[in-house]
C-alpha cells in the first residue's frame, strides 16, 4: 500500500511538471507569428516520436539495434559525409570552417544558417527559449544536411518569394552559394551589395542551392548556436545521415578578451569592470559566462565519453592547437571524418596562416595563427582573468588550460598556459 501511495505521488508531481512546461511553451507560442507556429508543432511531433522510439521495451531495443546497424552500413560504404562544426563565438570557427569551405567541388558548406532561426525566435518571443530553440535548431539542421531548404525559408525575413531571397545571412561565406549556377548574374544595380567574394551575384535561388547541395558528395554546416550536443542525438541516429560532430573549443579567458573587442557595445560592462573597482560576481553577465562554460563542458564530457550514439562520430579540437599546428590539425580532422585532404585546402592554409597585421582583422579568416594563441594575455586585466578562472575553472581543467596564479605569470611569454593534451 505504501509503495502504491509513493508511486501515485510521483505520478502527480510528474503531471504538474509537464503541465508547467506546457504552459511555458504555450506562452511562447502565443507570441509567435502564425508562420512560425507550425514549425513548433513539427518539432513537438518529432520529439514525441523520438520519445516513443526510445521506450525500454524489447521492440524499442530491436529498433535501436537496427538503427545502429543501418548507420554503420552507411559509414562503411565510403559515401556521403555530413559534418557539423560546433563552437561558440570568437573560438576561430569561421577560420576552421574554411578548412572545409575551401575543399573544392565535392563539399557543400553553409555558414551559420541557424542565425535566421535564432533571430526569429528572439524577435517573436522576446528572447531565445532553450526548450523551443533546441528542437528548432535540430530540425533545420537535419533538413539542410538533406539539402532541403524549405524549413529554413520559414525563418528568413523578409520571406523568400518563389524560393528566392536576398537576405540569407553571410551567403558570401559559402563557396557553394557563389558558383554557377547558384550565383546568377546581377540584373539590377540595386542588388550589387549582395556579392560573393570576387563575384557579384543576384538574389539567392534556394531551389538552385538545394540542387547544388544534392550534387556535392559531402555537406558541412558551421554553427555557434547549438548549446548542448545531446540535443543533436536524433541526427546521429538518422540512417540517412553519416554524421560527424567536431566541437571547437578555446580558452575562455581568450574568448572573453576577443569578445570585448569584437562586440564592444555588448561587453561594455566588462570593460568597465576592467577599469573600475571590485567585480560584482553575482551580476547577470557573470552568470551568463558561467552558463556558457558549463554548456561547453557538458557537451564535451558527453562527447569524450563516447556513448554508443556518438562512437566514432565526435572529435574535440582546441583552437590553440589549430593555431599552432594548422596543417596537422586540418589533416587530422579530414582523416577522422574519412575524406581526402586536398592540395587546395593545404594551399589555403599556407596562404592564410602567415599574414601581416595589416591584412588581419577582427572578423578576418586571415591570421598569423601562431601569434593569435598568446595575444589575449596582454590585452585583458588580471582581475578579469581571475574571474574567468573562478567561474570557468572546471571547463578550463577539462580542456587543459592552466591557471595564471598572478599577473607576472599571465604576461610571462616563457610560461605556457596550455597543457599538451590528446583528446580521443
Q: Delimit the domains of the chain by residue range.
A: 2-33
pLDDT at 359: 45
Q: Measured between alpha carbons, how far is 358 from 28 in angstroms, rounded to an integer?
A: 47
Residue with cell 594548422: 326
Helix (H, G, I), strand (E, B) or coil at 192: coil
Cα separation, 216 vs 107, whole angstroms: 6
**pLDDT tens, position by position, for the chain (424 residues)?**
444 443 443 343 344 334 444 443 343 344 344 454 444 444 444 334 333 333 333 333 343 343 344 344 344 334 899 999 999 999 999 999 999 999 978 999 999 999 999 999 987 766 667 778 999 999 999 999 999 999 999 999 999 999 999 999 999 999 999 998 999 765 433 344 445 655 688 999 999 999 999 999 999 999 999 999 999 999 999 999 999 999 999 999 999 999 988 877 777 778 777 777 665 555 788 889 999 999 999 999 999 999 999 999 999 999 999 999 999 999 999 999 999 999 999 999 999 987 544 444 444 444 555 667 889 999 899 989 999 999 999 999 999 999 999 999 999 999 999 999 999 6
Q: What is the pLDDT of residue 242?
A: 97
Q: Is there a contact between 43 and 134 (Cβ–Cβ < 8 Å)?
A: no
Task: Note the pLDDT of residue 261.
Answer: 86
Q: State the pairing for strand pair 164-165/204-205.
A: antiparallel
DSSP string, 315-365: EEEEHHHHHHSHHHHHHHHHHHHTS---HHHHHHHHHHSS--TTT--TT-S
Nearest to 186 by CA among 176, 201, 175, 198: 201
Evaluate whether 183 touches 199 at the Cβ level (below 8 Å): yes
Q: How many Å apart are CA 32 and CA 40, to the nearest integer?
A: 10
The three three-digit cell numbers of residue 394, written as one number: 572546471
Predicted local distance difference test score (pLDDT) of residue 19: 45
Q: What share of the chain is helix, strand, coil (3-state, %, to 5)?
A: 55, 10, 35
Cis-peptide into 181, omega within 30 deg: yes
Question: CA-based Rg of the chain, rounded to a whole angstrom?
Answer: 23
Residue among 345, 316, 87 at smallest CA distance from 218: 345
Our CA angle for 338, 170, 268, nearest 5°, is 110
Q: Are strands 218-223 and 195-196 parallel, antiparallel or unpaired?
A: unpaired
pLDDT at 81: 97
The grid coordinates of residue 297 equal: 563542458
Cell of 205: 535561388
- What is the distance of C-alpha 132 from the center of its chain? 17
User: For position 131, what pLDDT does the model report?
Assistant: 79
pLDDT of residue 355: 52
- Extract the runs of DSSP E, i.e. beta strands, from 179-308: 195-196, 199-200, 204-205, 218-223, 243-249
Residue partners of 257: CB distance under 8 A and separation at least 6: 376, 379, 380
The Cα 75–Cα 71 span in angstroms is 6
Residue 123: the pLDDT is 78
- Strand 243-249 to strand 314-318: parallel, antiparallel, or no bridges (unpaired)? parallel
Listed residue (175, 219, 226, 168) closest to 198, CA to CA:
175
Give the number of other CB atoms < 10 A from CB of residue 152. 23
- Indicate the pairing of strand 199-200 with strand 195-196: antiparallel
Give, in order, the Cα–Cα distances in Å from 316 to each of 34, 252, 285, 350, 354. 39, 15, 27, 23, 25
Judge contact between 322 and 254, C-beta under 8 A: no
Amino acid at each position: 500500500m505504501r509503495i502504491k501511495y509513493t508511486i501515485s505521488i510521483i505520478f502527480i508531481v510528474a503531471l504538474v511538471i509537464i503541465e508547467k512546461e506546457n504552459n511555458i511553451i504555450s506562452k511562447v507560442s502565443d507570441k509567435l507569428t502564425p508562420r512560425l507556429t507550425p514549425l513548433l508543432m513539427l518539432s513537438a511531433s518529432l520529439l514525441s516520436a523520438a520519445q516513443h522510439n526510445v521506450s525500454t521495451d524489447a521492440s524499442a531495443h530491436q529498433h535501436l539495434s537496427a538503427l545502429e546497424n543501418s548507420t554503420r552500413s552507411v559509414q562503411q560504404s565510403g559515401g556521403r559525409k555530413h559534418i557539423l562544426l560546433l563552437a561558440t563565438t570568437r573560438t576561430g570557427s569561421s577560420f576552421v570552417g574554411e578548412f572545409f569551405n575551401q575543399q573544392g567541388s565535392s563539399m557543400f558548406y553553409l555558414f551559420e544558417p541557424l542565425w535566421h532561426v535564432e533571430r526569429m525566435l528572439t524577435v517573436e518571443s522576446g528572447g531565445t527559449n532553450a526548450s523551443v530553440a533546441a528542437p528548432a535548431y535540430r530540425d533545420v539542421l537535419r533538413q539542410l544536411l538533406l539539402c532541403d531548404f524549405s524549413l529554413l525559408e520559414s525563418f528568413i525575413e523578409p520571406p523568400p518569394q518563389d524560393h528566392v531571397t536576398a537576405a540569407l545571412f553571410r551567403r558570401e561565406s559559402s563557396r557553394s552559394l557563389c558558383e554557377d549556377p547558384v550565383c546568377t548574374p546581377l540584373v539590377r544595380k540595386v542588388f550589387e551589395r549582395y556579392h560573393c567574394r570576387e563575384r557579384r551575384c543576384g538574389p539567392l535561388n534556394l531551389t538552385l542551392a538545394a540542387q547544388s547541395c544534392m550534387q556535392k558528395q559531402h555537406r558541412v554546416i558551421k554553427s555557434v548556436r547549438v548549446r548542448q550536443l545531446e540535443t543533436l542525438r536524433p541526427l546521429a541516429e538518422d540512417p540517412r545521415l553519416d554524421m560527424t560532430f567536431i566541437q571547437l573549443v578555446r580558452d575562455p579567458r581568450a574568448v572573453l578578451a576577443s569578445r570585448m573587442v569584437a562586440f564592444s557595445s555588448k561587453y561594455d560592462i566588462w570593460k568597465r569592470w576592467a577599469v573600475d573597482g571590485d567585480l560584482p560576481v553575482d551580476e547577470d553577465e557573470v552568470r551568463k559566462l558561467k552558463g556558457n562554460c558549463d554548456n561547453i563542458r557538458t557537451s564535451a564530457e558527453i562527447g569524450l565519453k563516447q556513448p554508443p550514439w556518438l562512437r566514432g562520430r565526435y572529435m574535440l579540437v582546441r583552437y590553440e592547437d589549430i593555431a599552432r599546428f594548422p596543417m596537422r590539425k586540418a589533416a587530422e580532422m579530414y582523416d577522422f571524418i574519412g575524406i581526402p585532404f586536398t592540395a587546395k585546402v593545404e594551399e589555403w592554409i599556407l596562404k592564410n596562416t602567415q599574414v601581416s597585421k595589416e591584412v588581419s582583422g577582427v572578423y578576418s579568416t586571415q591570421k598569423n595563427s601562431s601569434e593569435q594563441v598568446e595575444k589575449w594575455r596582454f590585452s585583458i586585466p588580471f582581475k578579469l582573468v581571475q574571474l574567468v578562472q573562478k567561474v570557468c575553472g572546471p571547463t578550463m581543467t577539462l580542456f587543459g588550460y592552466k591557471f595564471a596564479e598572478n599577473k607576472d605569470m599571465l604576461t610571462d611569454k616563457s610560461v605556457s598556459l596550455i597543457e599538451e593534451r590528446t583528446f580521443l
